[in-house]
Amino acid sequence: MVKLVGKNKILSAVFISGRGSNLKSIYNYSIKKNSKICVELVISSKSDVLGVKFARKYNIKTQIINYKNKVKAEARIIKLLKKNNIQLICLAGFMKVLSKNFVKSFKNKIINIHPSLLPKYKGLNTHERAIKNRDRFSGCTVHYVNQNLDSGKIILKQKVKLYKSDTPEQLAKRILKVENKLYPRAINKVISNF
């Protein structure tokens, strides 16, 4: 059982590297009256991105991590997570792979959103691959992060219809809308097991 601190909320960190639409949806969910989480910290591997602008606008503690040296970068992140009593880590478009040791030290506390129906299409270019294979559906998945890329236990996934005329950009846009709704639902599910 996790101790509820602060305003009785589970302190969460969102890791990003770009646009931050999922960060925005997680934040909007977190400020709802009945939400049990608080976005306490944003970690970004890039400085000049929309997600960082959003976090700063809403006064969320934000740290840009220099990833030139991965070992040092992760040590710095772990320090920040501990200092801020982070209990849940949500990866949202974070373009760095966490080391096995990092994942181990936050076992079952790290979740990620991936733009495909896992276990199909782990890794990059998911939309291109779904279109090339003429799939009838693609979608998105929220899963626990384990030591192998996009392979942890699935929390929730949702299908999105794929049209014959779809370009990767069109499909990505439709899936992203679904991602933004799915992520808060998945968080709700995860924290009910805390």
Residue positions annotated with a catalytic role: 114
* Closer by beta carbon to ligand GRF, 72 or else 161: 161
Least Å distance, CB 116 to ligand GRF, is 9
Closest CA to 126 of 94, 171, 90: 171
Contact, 183 vs 22, CB < 8 A?
A: yes
Least Å distance, CB 175 to ligand GRF, is 7
129 touches ligand GRF (CB under 6 A):
no
147 three-state secondary structure: coil
- Please identify which residue in 4, 9, 18, 105 interacts with ligand GRF, judged by CB under 6 A: 18
Question: Is the backbone peptide bond immediately before 119 cis, with ω within 30 degrees of 0?
Answer: yes
From residue 132, alpha-carbon distances to 126, 129, 150, 165 in Å are: 10, 5, 21, 12
Longest CA–CA span in the chain (Å) reads 50
As a whole number of angstroms, the distance between CA 183 and CA 194 comes to: 17
141 touches ligand GRF (CB under 6 A):
no
39 touches ligand GRF (CB under 6 A):
no
90 touches ligand GRF (CB under 6 A):
no
Least Å distance, CB 183 to ligand GRF, is 8
- Give residues in contact with ligand GRF (CB under 6 A): 16, 18-22, 51, 92-93, 113-115, 140, 176, 179
